[in-house]
Structure 1
Amino acid sequence: MKPLNPRFIFLLSLTVVSSSFGFYLPGLAPVSFCEEKSKGDAEECQTDIQLFVNRLDSVESVLPYEYDAFDFCKDTNERRPSENLGQVLFGERIETSPYKFSFKADKACVKVCTKSYDIGSSEDKLKLDFLKKGMELNYQHHWIVDNMPVTWCYIVEDGQKVCNPGFPIGCLVNQEGKPKDACVINADFNKKNTYYVFNHVDITIFYHSGDETNGMHARLVAATLEPQRSDFHSNDENPTCEGAPMDIPADFKSNLKVTYTYSVTFKQNDDIRWASRWDYILVSMPHTNIQWFSIMNSLVIVLFLTGMVAMIMLRTLHKDIARYNQMDQEEAQEESGWKQVHGDVFRPPRMGMLLSVFLGQGTQVFIMTFITLFLACMGFLSPANRGALMTCAVVLWVLLGTPAGYVSARLYKTFGGENWKTNVLLTAFLCPGIVFVDFFMMNLILWVEGSSAAVPFGTLVAILALWFGISVPLTFVGAYFGFKKPGIEPPVRTNQIPRQIPQQSFFTKAMPGIIMGGILPFGCIFIQLFFILNSIWSHQMYYMFGFLFLVFIILVITCSEATVLLCYFHLCAEDYHWWWRSFLTSGFTAVYLFVYAVHYFFSKLQIIGAASTILYFGYTLIMVLIFFIFTGTIGFFSCFWFVNKIYSVLKVD
């Protein structure tokens, strides 16, 4: 675990300030390279190229591990670049590696180190077993050069070129002789019950030559590699990188040596500009057509709902209100439907305290999500800014405690509540407390498993300091101004005696309406949700924030319109209990999200192990809770506006 040192505190403070203004762009300044530096070039270009290594992860396990957890070659002068809050929370552990190059200096078969495993050493046996387990679960290296991933590009069945930002540490041929994962690419992997370690890599670095006449030096625009396997038992001091694949028997019965080597080649490519050097990775992900299909599907749903709402507002409601205002009071008493419940529709709901707390937290999450996605859509939070997305979201959530306290207090006062102290405390601690307890329990499992995703104790202290030191006081400030103002005055007077609700049909009862209400919003997001889950659990790069922001807007519109429609139908059935129902109607979308996450776990993932399963569902519950209060808040305020609008035009006392 890392201690909370002054350097981290300074970095966290800088991140908070810069993220709040949306100009957090670390690592995006281009770095120039040259073969030989003269005295005048000392400040302008670099000759040495450092390869960094990140954590290793797998699609078959939720547990990532640091590079040092495996018995690979380590840098003698190991150092870690500064990490922001988002990188720490995501479990990224970047450090220097022994792979060091000089610009435009091609090298062939350079030895990095040799790892020896003695059959009589229990420590060596544990190291080798852990390495075998990593190959069995298909753990992937993630290397970085000049803040861009070193990719492994290969051709898939349909002839399309795919560039993966990670490459496997090895592969396995099981006892039946069936090759797994990367072992299928080479027919030489044919020994049963044998592991093949990728101990050699052929690295190719592409550079843009720049313009020497204008003083512009070369810049790196791409880095690819090809993992290889070679047996160096015979001559590991002067390897030739030739020979049979390096195999490790499943049974450790004799001493073993594994020599790690690399070859590096520099190639000039002036067709790729530095600003677009990530494009070759993103283009190889064929998601654009599917994304447009998702957008069109969502737009059709929105247009359908908009037409329904427009028909109700412009035709039904307009005619009803006009006819109602022309009648005298006795004729109006004979009317039925939504007009008859005007004396009860603003009766305070049961558990108004809990509803107001959820709405305060939902407002905070909504504003945070909108600003974060907008900044990501503008390119401020691109994949090149490692951890910037999470850092921005956390910082915004901390700084948005004031609107959460204000909305919660104002609505609670509208409901006639008087326990203002309980209200503000629940607003500040209920939902964040549930999330933190869940997150802490998942973090304990990661600590026990020795995973790199375990958040260090110092970072947990920093998160608590942000919560208690900034978010909670801001929530109290918002609640103070909320309670200082009078509650929202309803447009009609509430009767002292509640009106009896008539017998409801099946479709106008609470539960069927709530279940139906979440279907359409979920239909708008489920395709986008697939890619988001892929980026989280299958370690695929997510970059389509423009699509995501558009789907976010569509989701807000769909939740609003679906809730307004169902609210109108229930009021027409003379059921005036709309407060909680409006929140739960759109909030039920989170239940469909959980069901889809369960389906995704069993149908798409290959995760094995109790710890990984618990971690998956533990983090999924956090997502579901946040999504529940987010969508529920959208539905409530849409229905709140709708009900106030239609009853404010009635001429009743």
Structure 2
Amino acid sequence: MAISTGDTLGLRWIVFAVVLCLCRVSEAFYIPGWSIKSYKDNEQIPLLVNKVYSDNTQLQYAFYDLPFVCPPTGQHHGAGLLSGQNIPLNLGEILRGDRITVSDMELAMKHDNGCAFLCNQQVTRKDLHRARNMIRDGYVVEWIVDNLPGATSFVTVDKTRKYYAAGFKLGYTDNSSGRPRYFLNNHHTIVIRYRRAPGKAGDNGGKVVVGFEVYTKSIGPNNPRDDKGCPAELHDIDQNFELYIAPNKTTELSIQYPHSSYYPEDDESLDDDATLTAPYTYSVYFREDNSIEWSRRWDLYFVNQEEGSKIHWLAIVNSLIICGLLTGIVLMILARTIRTDIKSYREASAASAEESKSRVGRKRRSGGGSGLQTPREKTIGLLEQVGEPGLDSGDMSSEDEALEDVTGWKMLHADVFRNPRNGQLLAPLVGSGMQLLFMAMGLVLLSAIGILNPSFRGGFISFGIGLFIFAGLFSGYFSSRVFKTFGGQDWRRNTVVTAVLFPGLLFGIVFVLNLFVWAQASSTAIPFGTLVAIVFLFLCVQVPLVYVGSWYGFVRAGTWEHPTKTSSIPRQLPPKQAWYTKGLRTALLAGLIPFAVIFIELLFVFQSVWQDKSGYYYVFGFLTVVSTILIVTIAEVTVVTIYIQLCSENYHWWWQSFFVGGGSAAWVFVYCVWYYFAKLHITGVLSSLLFFSYSFMACCVYGLLTGTVGFLTAYAFVRRIYG
């Protein structure tokens, strides 16, 4: 059922994808203090049911797909809604597993209802087994009222502030009898907190919702009920609703365990038609609360994150210290080492040139000179290409000081801009990295100023995909310019590789994973229609944008000119290189420094993504600062690392700069592995596979982005010192 619903939504996206720009902005866009919905007394407020999710698994399910809950009846509600009607979703909501449907529960502003009967649901042994497994895995239910998720209310340790945890438990487990017993929460007390609406709406009697709380109870069948099916006494419950069906026939098992509460948990293996009747009821209460402003109603969901502000500041201070130390090292390299080398070299070269001119003049006056160049003269001729003043290709100075200064990075002027191996692959990676960099900067900026916020459900993913597709222009532009700089000619082939390589890799991984999730009938699975819509956006929007950017970068912008000429014969590298300057060792060692900048903030991000699945990362202001420091740190680490490599007379810096910039991605993945074993309690092979696959894709995105930053920084640095 979830897949067919998503297919309809996905096909809708095929038609409206370009026009609506990936999201129903008119329905979902929200900034605190704007788009206020007010209700008059006794006006119907729709209660929407969404999904169930758990911290112990990555599989989510649509609420109405559960066989042990009350199915929708199709009754008419206010605002032209029918129970069981699917609410239109944006692309981000579909991808995050949302399946929002109108419920049968009736809410009317300021109208309390002590108890209302919902249904008697017949539960088979198979369905009972599924309910017990979901309760054991800690599944939480998400309902929505006025765009607020139903919350469980808590109080801080010092009892001075109340805060919300989004969602409420499907049931609970009792281990007091020596074996687990599972109980279903079949009565829900709904508390809607409201206040007078601001402005003219409030003058006309309008009210706004500022809080949505859900309190659960488990009420067994032996509790007395009235004629409507409601419990006669909600405050004094004699028996809770246990998920258990006794065998219909007398067996050795029933003789050994004569009391039903002692039957083993695997009674679903019994082959009979026995069912259990689960009665569902609910209560509704409206309470006025003027202590909460409507524009601040989401703050209750983030009290815990706000209390962690000290840790955020610690992360920023830690990042600033590391960045400050690196800045000092880079300034020392640029201001003292390089400038001193260049200055002393130019002074020695000028003195040598003057003496050489006088010697040449004497030879010419005496009629000497054979017209042939010695190896020393050839070296001086190559130095002339660097642009050093006062050098002449005919200089034949006998002084050794000028050449003794040509050591280290200065010896590579004729090889430092030599085209790298597999440059046709590096160019598309740099282009995709710029595409991701633009997307990330846009998301962080929009989140920091409040456009993307928790109430815009799915907005972060929708805008992310939209920015990524639009940034195809930047991807094609930078890829083609780098490709032409490396001497490439077939720019159309480079365009195809740029447009397909990285997005195709991600789509392929997601598609394979989706096959496994489809088999579980989980709402985490991306519907087929949505997959077709994504392919449509990719082929009909992104690829043309990459083509336009590539054409402009290759034909109109042209190549980047290098300050020195490259010799026809490659220079031989010194046989002995320091162990820390070889290949991936350098990238891993250098990657530790950027990782040290972000590892504290990673804890909050991981907690928001993997544990608080209904929650959101709220402190984007801190993330903006840390991200800025991270980019600066990566640039400085790359400069220092490439300078050390050039001083070792190793001119293979193109790929190395890319790997050094993205080296921290390897440590982030190691952090993911540690987080899985130390912080998470994920059960099931499929959930673990999803965790590591998504973590791998996230690290690839991060590594490609930071690797591009390192590459462009190193290129600018090398052009500077050799120019």
Q: By the TM > 0.5 criterion, same fold?
A: yes
Which residues in structure 2 correspond to 1:138-537 (within 5 Å)?
Answer: 138-155=138-155, 161-174=162-175, 177=176, 192-210=179-197, 214-215=203-204, 217-236=206-225, 237-240=229-232, 241=234, 242-249=237-244, 250=265, 251=267, 255-285=275-305, 286-328=307-349, 329=380, 331-335=401-405, 336-484=407-555, 485-502=557-574, 503-537=576-610
SS at match of 1:450: coil
Q: Are 1:81 and 2:87 counterparts?
A: yes
- Alpha-carbon separation, structure 1, partners of 2:520 and 2:343: 68
Which residues in structure 2 correspond to 1:539-618 (within 5 Å)?
Answer: 539=613, 540-618=615-693
Partner of 1:113: 119
Per the TM alignment, residue 224 of structure 1 is displaced from its structure 2 partner at its CA by 1.2
- Alpha-carbon separation, structure 2, partners of 1:619 and 1:486: 38
Q: Gaps spanning 5+ residues in structure 1: where?
A: 37-46, 118-123, 178-189, 649-653
SS at match of 1:487: coil
Partner of 1:642: 717
Q: Gaps spanning 5+ residues in structure 2: where?
A: 75-83, 245-264, 350-379, 381-396
* Greater displacement, 229-238 / 294-303: 229-238
Amino acid at match of 2:558: P
1:619-647 per-residue CA deviation (whole Å, 9 max, x = no partner) reads 12211211111010000000100000111
Contact 1:333 1:340 in 2 (8 A): no
Contact 2:10 2:527 in 1 (8 A): no
Candidates 14, 21, 30, aligned match of 1:16 = 21
- Alpha-carbon separation, structure 1, partners of 2:12 and 2:24: 18
What is the count of residue pairs matched by the alignment?
Answer: 617
Candidates 8, 12, 25, aligned match of 1:3 = 8
Give the fraction of aligned pairs with identical amino acids, expressed as a percent: 35
Partner of 2:696: 621
Partner of 1:35: 41
- Alpha-carbon separation, structure 2, partners of 1:423 and 1:364: 15
Contact 1:50 1:100 in 2 (8 A): yes
Amino acid at match of 2:56: E
Per the TM alignment, residue 289 of structure 1 is displaced from its structure 2 partner at its CA by 1.6
Per the TM alignment, residue 579 of structure 1 is displaced from its structure 2 partner at its CA by 0.5
1:87-106 per-residue CA deviation (whole Å, 9 max, x = no partner) reads 11111111111222111111
- Alpha-carbon separation, structure 1, partners of 2:96 and 2:191: 29
Change (3 A) 1:381 1:479: same
Amino acid at match of 2:292: I
Partner of 1:67: 63
* Greater displacement, 574-583 / 419-428: 419-428
- Alpha-carbon separation, structure 1, partners of 2:16 and 2:118: 33
1:94-143 per-residue CA deviation (whole Å, 9 max, x = no partner) reads 111122211111111222111223xxxxxx22221111111111110011
1:304-345 per-residue CA deviation (whole Å, 9 max, x = no partner) reads 111111111112122111112222256443221111111111
Partner of 2:133: 133
SS at match of 1:196: strand
* Greater displacement, 220-229 / 140-149: 220-229
Contact 2:174 2:180 in 1 (8 A): yes
Contact 1:365 1:626 in 2 (8 A): yes
Amino acid at match of 2:154: Y
- Alpha-carbon separation, structure 2, partners of 1:146 and 1:61: 28
RMSD between superposed Cα atoms in Å: 2.2
Q: TM-score, normalised by structure 2?
A: 0.82
1:165-213 per-residue CA deviation (whole Å, 9 max, x = no partner) reads 0111012235xx4xxxxxxxxxxxx573311111112221111124687
1:576-624 per-residue CA deviation (whole Å, 9 max, x = no partner) reads 1111110001211111111111111111111111111111112122112
Per the TM alignment, residue 508 of structure 1 is displaced from its structure 2 partner at its CA by 2.9
* Greater displacement, 391-400 / 9-18: 9-18
Q: TM-score, normalised by structure 1?
A: 0.90
Per the TM alignment, residue 360 of structure 1 is displaced from its structure 2 partner at its CA by 0.5
Per the TM alignment, residue 393 of structure 1 is displaced from its structure 2 partner at its CA by 0.7
- Alpha-carbon separation, structure 2, partners of 1:294 and 1:495: 48
Per the TM alignment, residue 15 of structure 1 is displaced from its structure 2 partner at its CA by 3.5
- Alpha-carbon separation, structure 1, partners of 2:547 and 2:304: 49
Change (3 A) 1:530 1:214: same
1:476-516 per-residue CA deviation (whole Å, 9 max, x = no partner) reads 11111222143211101112222222221223333332111
